[in-house]
Structure 1
Amino acid sequence: MEPVLSPSPWETIGRLADLFTRLDTARGIPAEQQWTLQVLKLTEEVGESAQAVIGAWATNPRKGQSHTWGHVQEEVADAAITSLVSLHRMLGDEAPAFFEALLARKAARFFDLDDDTGAPPREGA
């Protein structure tokens, strides 16, 4: 059975975050510990991405080519999802605006490098 997703990715992220928070709260885990464990889960997902790259390149002589680039893409997506769920668990409904503002600020640093003037990035970007 296919899960029914919310109309927007952030709504789905919010539903996942709320579910995980409810489950952890029912287990008696305080909020900051929940956030810590969620960030550790993110670290696990990044490690799985790295493992998939190693498998796609077949650099582990014991395993050979154990993964495809499709596996790598799925693991990277899992890391992104886990990251956004982590952010939502910490910030709640403020997570989308926080993420979008931070993305714009960080991206501006790189776009400043691409302005064809050769000037260094703006101060404070």
Structure 2
Amino acid sequence: MKHPTRNEAGTIDEVWKTIGELARAFRQRDDERKVPTEQQWTLQVLKIGEEFGEAAQAVIGVQGTNPRKGTSHSWDDVQAEVADTALVTLARMRPNDAADCFAGVLADKSSRFLIPAPPSPGEVQG
């Protein structure tokens, strides 16, 4: 299964627009069923757990370690499971600022875990 690249899927703003539209559609379905907001969030977070299980199953399929199924998945399958749910969950919980929240979390993680690149030769250090 071929998944779209960033160029095929659009700009990051278009990606977040699509994520928001999915979140709104899922919220509308739950609202029509009269599911309370916090329960919607809870179920959506549990969906991440479900997707983890599917990603794990796909990894087992890539490795061929299930004797009944052999090699049954590809790394594309694993990647699709990994990319499938978390950002929509965030957008459901924070419909007005999910992209900003994600950017903030990403900035925090990168400041704590990324090692700054060494200066280029001839670059003045500040």
Query: Do these two structures clear the TM 0.5 threshold for a shared fold by scoring above it?
Result: yes
Q: Percent identity?
A: 54
List structure 1 runs of 4+ shifted beyond 6 angstroms: none
- RMSD over aligned Cα, in angstroms? 1.8
Encode CA deviations 1:70-91: one digit per residue, 9 max, x unaligned. 211222221xxx1111111111
- CA contact under 8 A between 1:14 and 1:93: conserved in structure 2? no
User: Which letter does structure 1 place at the counterpart of 2:106?
Assistant: L
Counterpart of 2:110 (choices 107, 111, 116) is 107
1:115, CA displacement in angstroms? 5.7
What TM-score results when the alignment is normalised by the length of structure 2? 0.79
The unaligned stretches of length 5 or more in structure 1 are 117-125
**How many residues matched?**
108
1:68, CA displacement in angstroms? 1.5
1:107, CA displacement in angstroms? 1.2
Indicate the structure with greater helix content.
Answer: 1
The unaligned stretches of length 5 or more in structure 2 are 1-8, 119-126
CA distance in 2, matches of 1:83, 1:73: 13
